[in-house]
Amino acid sequence: MAAIEVLDLTKTYGELQAVDAVSLEVAEGEFVGILGPNGAGKTTLLEMVEGLRRPDAGTATVLGLPVWPRNADLLPRMGVQLQASAFFERLTAREQLHTFASLYAVPSATADEWLERVGLDDKAGTRVEDLSGGQAQRLSIACALVHDPDVVFLDEPTAALDPQARRNLWDLLSGLNNSGRTVVLTTHYMDEAEVLCDRVAIMDSGRILQVDSPAALIRRLDAPARITVAPGAVGLEEARGIAAVDDVQESVDGVVLTTRDPAHVVARLAERDQLDGVRVQTGTLEDVFLDLTGREYRA
Amino acid sequence: MSSTSGRPSSRSAFVALSVAIFKGFLRDKGAVFFALVFPLMFLVLFGGIFSDQDQSKVDLIQVGDVALVDDLPEGAAEAFADTFEVTTSDDLADALEQVRKGDADVAIEQRGDELVAHYTQTEQVKSAITQGTLRAFVDATNVAQLAAQTGEQPAYSFEAVSVEDDSLTAIQFVTPGLLGWAVAMSASFGAAATLQGWRQSKLLRRLQLSPVSTSTMVGARVAVTIAVALIQMAIFLGLGSVAFGLTLSGSWWMAIPTLVVGTLCFMAIGLLAGAIAKTTEGAVNMANFFVLPMAFLSGSFFPLDAAPAWLRAFSNVLPLKHLNEAMLDVMVRGEGPSAALVPIAVLAAFAIVVTAVAARLFRWDTA
């Protein structure tokens, strides 16, 4: 059974078609990312799936139950982290988590375990206003998970974090679906979607353009690989002579060989000991986005 | 995978939310200041100033023999002793010097049939009391002597009765009014700030996605506001009685339900401000914009008796006026419990109408 079924969800704000007939199915235990630039409609889509917003058209069900109107039987099985830090003012990290635990009839001991799991046990007595961005995000994720929900929605959990804090948070997020939990996250970071998600839905201008695993999306793109070696490591004419090389360019970085068979080309270069400073770039999700929308990705 | 948790009992969720909100209030220095410290400053100010003026006696130096004072009839002698703190002296120059320096308020001497009072104009209140009182005693003595000579009773007699003793000294009047203002502020600011703050942080949305009903959420906020109002009342009445001699009349307990309904009414005004404004600061400022002028026009700071008739008529559309009047009636004017019933009904009607308007304007999101 699908954990989440979305069919033709549509939402319009005045002139703006925020979400345009989006359909999506998420299997139980799957980690799905909705990737797109700001303003793509990710949050509006997520809020309709959570049951926060009434869709203009279409339906969304979670665990087989319709999310609209508000269904008090479904809510305890859903965990939600919203974009802003939705906290009670002036409570400490522990008090915050205990309050949310009480709303779900979860014992305080479980709440304390979660504090430890998100690495905030040494910040237990710190007020939420005094937590760093990363710590606040960890706390709000703990608040979303404290009642051990079957389905978790995370709306841009790493937005506004520095790269270090973002990677720290990935460690926490990557194991979330291990025990069969279904996770849906929105992000505008390509690398984040690639690292965390089983499948990625690429969204732009209110529509989902493609859904697949990151590897399959890139493979389908059928983009050539670019092999770069140090300047002078290989002569231009010599490089053009290697089988399967489609194009050779010289740049300040060095010599760039374009090919659809990087394994073969690297092997040939290795035979001649011409691998000085080698770097192989295959297609990225950015290329996928460019291919799908015809424009550069700007988060 | 099965959930280990379920829907909480609404009671435990109610308690958890109430505790969270109450802690948030206690740790908000600004909110505590405006709910308690600020109004109490006014109470100390008003209670202190006015009780000082109507309680201290006039220091009087009697130079040599003053037959008028020495021969006062028994009742008049008592009244004289209530007004004046009398010391005697034989040295007029020294007595005048004391008055000049402010150590004494007045020096009196008798020259033949003339009573001469020496005082300074710097203490206007006391010099007015001195002149008026001494003149009254002289008149009274004249009348008594005339009556003794002619054997006739005077047609008119005069008895001075201080108004304050029988009804409202300053502290009696200012305590209910300032308490009404304090509760109006904390209830409306609290509701406005919570609604805006929770909306901005999306906590409102987050709670909507928890299995807690809206009525439990609203109930917790109402319970905390009422608790704060009752704490304000306890502190006001406690400080007023202990420090400033506030005495409550018989059915003062009726002020409790009055205050509770008043709290609901001002919460509704705060909700309205929170629904209209776009930021937390804006919401609190708007609540203040409603409450502060209302406090002036509702007699929280000074009585409206001297105000023009149109202003007094206008004040009747202000809920704080009804809250203040009801609390004055039952706390210090000695009215029965029923005196508060009509104001309670008026406040409840305000609360319902304003809540309905706020609910119409309510939005879940800032956008």
Residue of B3, B197, B201 lying closest to A149 (CB–CB):
B3
Residue B58, pLDDT score:
78
Instruction: Yes or no: say if B198 and B55 are a contact pair by the CB < 8 Å rule.
Output: no
pLDDT band (50, 70, 90) for residue B245 = confident
A93 near A131, Cβ under 8 Å? yes
Strands B84-89 and A78-81: unpaired
Residues of A in contact with B17 (CB under 8 A): 99, 103
Cβ burial A140-175 (10 Å sphere, 16+ → b, else e): bbbbbbbbbbbbbbbbbbbbebeeebbebbbebbee
> Min CA distance, A272 vs chain B (Å)?
56
How much of chain B exceeds pLDDT 90, in percent? Answer: 41
Q: What is the CATH number of domain A2-217?
A: 3.40.50.300
Q: What is the CA B341 to chain-centroid distance, rounded?
A: 21
Residue B143 clears pLDDT 60, i.e. is over it? yes
Under DSSP, the state recorded for B33 is: I
**Do A76 and B202 count as a contact with CB atoms less than 8 A apart?**
no
Distances (CA, A) of B267 to B52, B175, B298: 36, 21, 18
Task: Return the H-helix or E-strand segment holding B5.
Answer: none
> DSSP characters for A94-158?
HHHHHHHHHHTT--HHHHHHHHHHTT-GGGTTSBGGGS-HHHHHHHHHHHHHTT--SEEEEESTT
Categorize the per-residue pLDDT at B161 as very low, low, confident or very high, splitting at 50, 70 and 90. Answer: very low
Span B189-213, pLDDT tens digits: 999 998 888 988 899 999 999 999 8
For residue B56, pLDDT over 80 is answered with no
Inform me whether the pLDDT recorded for B167 exceeds 50.
no
Q: Which of A63, A187, A195 is nearest to A137 (CA)?
A: A187
pLDDT tens-digit series, residues B9-26 = 778 899 999 999 999 999
Provide the pLDDT for residue A163: 87
User: Going by CATH, does the domain composed of A224-282 fall within 3.40.50?
Assistant: no
Tell me how far apart the alpha carbons of residues B253 and A245 are, in angstroms, rounded to a whole number: 94
* Chain A residue nearest residue B217, CA to CA: A103
The residue ranges of every structural domain in chain B are: 11-51+166-361, 56-160
What digits encode the pLDDT tens for the residues A97-136? 999 999 999 999 999 999 999 999 999 999 999 999 899 9
Quick one: pLDDT band at residue B153, thresholds 50, 70, 90? low
Given an 8 Å threshold on Cβ–Cβ distance, is A76 in contact with B24?
Answer: no
Q: Are B291 and B183 in contact (CB under 8 A)?
A: no
Mean confidence (pLDDT) of chain A: 91
Q: pLDDT-derived band of residue B165, with 50, 70 and 90 as boundaries?
A: very low
What are the tens digits of pLDDT across the range B218-239? Answer: 999 999 999 999 999 999 999 9
The pLDDT tens digits for A270-290 are 998 888 888 888 888 888 888
Enumerate the CATH 3.40.50.300 domain ranges in chain A, comma separated.
Answer: 2-217
- Look up residue B213 and give its amino acid: S
Fold assignment, B56-160: D-Maltodextrin-Binding Protein; domain 2 (3.40.190)
Q: Is there a contact between B203 and A50 if contact means CB atoms under 8 Å apart?
A: no
* pLDDT (average), residues B120-135: 73
The model's confidence at residue B109, banded by pLDDT at 50, 70 and 90, is: confident
**Across the interface, which of B3, B17, B209 has its CB nearest the CB of A80?**
B209
Crossing angle between the packed helical segments B280-297 and B170-200, to the nearest 10 degrees: 160
Residues of A whose CB is below 8 A from B9: 105
Mutate to test the interface with A, among B5, B199, B284 (most CBs of A within 10 A): B5
Residues of B with CB under 8 A from a CB of A: 1, 3-9, 12-13, 15-17, 19-21, 23-24, 27-28, 197, 200-203, 205-213, 364
Number of H helices, E strands in chain A: 10, 14
3-state secondary structure of A33: strand
Spatial separation of the C-alpha atoms in residues B196 and B273, rounded to whole Å: 9
How confident is the model over A222-254, as pLDDT tens digits? 788 889 998 888 888 888 888 888 889 888 888
Q: Tens of pLDDT along A43-101?
A: 999 999 999 999 999 999 999 999 988 888 899 999 999 977 899 999 999 999 999 99
Q: What is the CA radius of gyration of chain B?
A: 29
* Of the candidates B90, B46, B87, B43, the residue with the CA atom closest to the CA atom of residue B65: B90
Distance CA B47, CA B240 (A): 8
CA-CA distance, A138 to A141, in Å (whole number)?
5
Report how far residue A133's alpha carbon sits from residue A137's, in angstroms, rounded to the nearest whole number.
6
pLDDT tops 60 at residue B54:
no
A105, B1: Cβ pair inside 8 Å? no
Sort out which chain B residues have CB atoms less than 8 A from A75's CB and list them. Answer: 7, 209-211
Is A80 in Cβ contact with B28 (below 8 Å)? no
CA nearest neighbour of A160 among A142, A187, A140: A187
Out of A180-194, A285-299, B289-303, least confident range: A285-299
Measured between CA atoms, how close is B209 to chain A, in angstroms? 6
